[in-house]
Chain A
Amino acid sequence: MALLEVDRLVTEFHTGAGVVRALDNVSFTLERGKVLGIVGESGSGKSVTAFSLMNLLEAPGRIASGSIRFKGEELGAASPTRWSQLRGDRIAMVFQDPMMSLNPVMRIGAQLAETVAIHARASRAQIDEQVCSALRRVGIAAPAERMRAYPHELSGGMRQRVAIANAIINAPDLIIADEPTTALDVTIQGQILYEMKQLVRSSGTALLWITHDISLVKDLADHLCVMYAGRVIEQGPVDQVIGQPRHPYTRGLIDSLPHAASRGKRLYSIPGATPPLLALPPGCAFAPRCSRASAACSVTPQVTVAGAREFRCFHPLDRP
């Protein structure tokens, strides 16, 4: 039984202008101790996936249908109390902006201690020890002194490390990270990526890493999902998806990345733009921009399964 099984998840936003389907039958699984990368551009639904999984959607968003099974338990039916038990303890989240999870008027040590205290009974000394240990694991030197700092006294990279410490402190089974390094500098991003890899390996925590940067997940993830307009259009083992993409969008995305070999030549760019979710074309959302589209694409493609690979396309790219 997989750690996390998402099956045909549908999330809708009931706005004044109409119902927006931010997630349209999204399905994927995540095994214990593995890393799943979700890649997509703006409007693809990747962040909405994270918030749906944590039940943090705010009105007018709501999960319309589908199931989320965590360790066999159906989360859609979970009560708010059950969610409070799970969040921070079994499932933790790291946001793009660390200030989303850090309280600016509390010392970081106090915040981390609070995360421990609400989920377990422990003495003051034990909690402090856990806090120091978590800070050390995310690479913060001199944790006993640093504990007393306020978030604004720390740099962006440090704050994100504290947010990660907050996520790992109770040794959760699953960490959902929504673009955690996007706002950080390259060298700091490198450090945090490295540390996350170490953490995952040493603690066996599963990691769901959401990003718009496909090159980031290449070394981190085992499995990759590519999202477009609220649908998972391709998924599979990361090397295979990047090395031999089956869906034209994935291919286009990879080809658009600038690199040394394309110096002096025009970069490939996918023509057109992502359609607005309120006005999706019928059938395959990518069809208007796809060179391989045909009349068949006016019907939403179902998921084709080819071994460990899955994709939604009537005209997938051939296996080389």
Chain B
Amino acid sequence: MTAMLSTNKLTKTFSLKQGTLARAAAALGVGGDAPRQVFAVNQVSLDVDQGEVLGLVGESGCGKSTVGRMIAGLLPASAGSLAFQGEDITRPSVATHLKIQMVFQNPYASLNPRHRIDQAVTEAAQYHGLVSKSEAPAYAAQLLRQVGLDPSYATRYPHQFSGGQRQRIAIARALSLKPRFVVCDEAVSALDVSVQAQVLNLFMDLRESQGLTYLFISHNLAVVEYIADRVAIMYLGRVVELADTRSIFSRPQHPYTQALIADAPRLDTKVAEHRPIQGELPSPLDPPRGCAFHPRCPHAMERCRSEVPALQQGAPGHWSACHLVHAAA
């Protein structure tokens, strides 16, 4: 069965601007380095099946948000390809937006403060011809009800609502274009715990009632463990581990995944005196050679310093990019 959304070696690079002297030197052929490339996302290949929730986990600089934006058509890919239901969507177009929508992290910033709620949730739908101007008020009411808000909110402005309510409005806006696939970029990270639970329940309800598929980007392992069917762990632009949720959390193979899980504060487990992983997150501007994790890895071998490990299947359905894992296999 072909996956609903599939990325193949998806890559995003940014060129660092050179100083004038360096550019002049290059133009004169007098030397100077070629412009440096920063790999925000480096050859990420992922599949998301219809109806599933794929969790994408990582810390700052890992590229997970960039992957989300490329999938949602907000950022063009530098290399690699994207396919949705078999069709190639590597170059973002308006059609992409009608199939894939995104919910952003900050509910206080993702709504236009000068627009009324009804305008916010129906403007795009009207523009793309999904509803006519006369149908718009009813459509707005329907959308608001779907996300658990009172339809009378339609005439209000964002500043009159709390963070949780604004996030629901943002979800209603995403739903207004009747997408099949929703990218949730840290969609609950900025919410209070009790509100977070409500919004997570809403996501699950919508998945069933609307038949949605999610890419759920988050740094919060507890949330991902709860909501995702499969999880991909990213580190410095690459996927380092990919498996179903239960396997990843009970038998993490990559040392980084192991560290993440051990470091995450959990209410249900009593953490033994555990020494957390040392070292800083590397900067994409100056990535380590070979395996990006080797400076912090307690099991680093000579091979790790020079060779980038490929993502390989260790156990069925469980992929990891680690020399240690595959040497043992």
What residues of chain A have their CB less than 8 Å away from a CB belonging to chain B?
41-42, 155-158, 185-191, 193-194, 212-216, 218-219, 242, 252-254, 256-263, 266-270, 273-274
Chain A residues with CB under 8 A of B275: 194
Cβ-based interface call for B302 (8 A)? no
Q: Which of B240-270 contact A (CB under 8 A)?
A: 245-246, 249, 259-260, 262-268, 270
Cβ-based interface call for B221 (8 A)? yes
User: Total interface residues on B, using CB and 8 Å?
Assistant: 44
- Residue pair A269, B278 in contact (C-beta under 8 Å): no
- Minimum CB distance partner of A271 in chain B: B198
- Residue pair B276, A259 in contact (C-beta under 8 Å): no
Cβ-based interface call for B222 (8 A)? yes
* A42-B163, A215-B222, A267-B200 as given contacts; A257 in contact with B267, CB under 8 Å: yes
- Residue pair B192, A212 in contact (C-beta under 8 Å): yes
CA distance A277 to B249 in the complex (A): 40
Q: Which of B41-93 contact A (CB under 8 A)?
A: 59-60
Q: List 7 A-B contacts (CB under 8 A).
A: A41-B192, A156-B60, A187-B263, A188-B280, A257-B222, A259-B267, A260-B226
Q: Which of B196-226 contact A (CB under 8 A)?
A: 196-198, 200-201, 204, 219, 221-223, 225-226
CA distance A274 to B193 in the complex (A): 12
Question: Which among A256, A261, A274 has the greatest number of chain B C-beta atoms within 10 A?
Answer: A256
- Minimum CB distance partner of B250 in chain A: A260
Cβ-based interface call for B227 (8 A)? yes
- Residue pair A185, B219 in contact (C-beta under 8 Å): yes
- Residue pair B260, A186 in contact (C-beta under 8 Å): yes
Among A188, A252, A259, point to the contact of B194 (Cβ < 8 A). A252
Per-position binary interface string of chain B over residues 263-289, scored 1 when its CB falls under 8 Å from any chain A CB and 0 otherwise: 111111011000111101101000000
CA distance A242 to B276 in the complex (A): 24
Cβ-based interface call for B155 (8 A)? no
B279 to chain A, nearest CB (A): 9
Chain B residues with CB under 8 A of A191: 263, 276-278
Chain A residues with CB under 8 A of B219: 185-186
Among B193, B225, B246, B262, point to the contact of A259 (Cβ < 8 A). B225
CA distance A257 to B191 in the complex (A): 12
- Minimum CB distance partner of B283 in chain A: A155
Chain B residues with CB under 8 A of A157: 280-281
B108 to chain A, nearest CB (A): 11
Chain B residues with CB under 8 A of A158: 280
Among B164, B194, B271, B280, point to the contact of A219 (Cβ < 8 A). B271
Chain A residues with CB under 8 A of B196: 256, 258
Chain B residues with CB under 8 A of A215: 222, 265-267
Chain B residues with CB under 8 A of A268: 197
- Residue pair B198, A269 in contact (C-beta under 8 Å): yes
Cβ-based interface call for B310 (8 A)? no
- Residue pair A270, B194 in contact (C-beta under 8 Å): yes
- Residue pair B194, A242 in contact (C-beta under 8 Å): no
* A187-B259, A258-B227, A273-B162 as given contacts; A253 in contact with B195, CB under 8 Å: no
- Minimum CB distance partner of A155 in chain B: B280
- Residue pair B276, A190 in contact (C-beta under 8 Å): yes
Chain B residues with CB under 8 A of A259: 222, 225-226, 266-268
- Minimum CB distance partner of A267 in chain B: B197
Among B192, B225, B270, B271, point to the contact of A263 (Cβ < 8 A). B225
- Residue pair A41, B227 in contact (C-beta under 8 Å): no
Among B192, B198, B227, B259, point to the contact of A42 (Cβ < 8 A). B192
- Residue pair B193, A253 in contact (C-beta under 8 Å): yes
CA distance A258 to B189 in the complex (A): 13
A48 to chain B, nearest CB (A): 16
Contacts A186-B260, A212-B193, A213-B193 known; 11 new A-B pairs at CB < 8 A: A158-B280, A186-B221, A186-B264, A190-B263, A190-B277, A212-B192, A215-B267, A256-B193, A258-B225, A266-B201, A273-B195
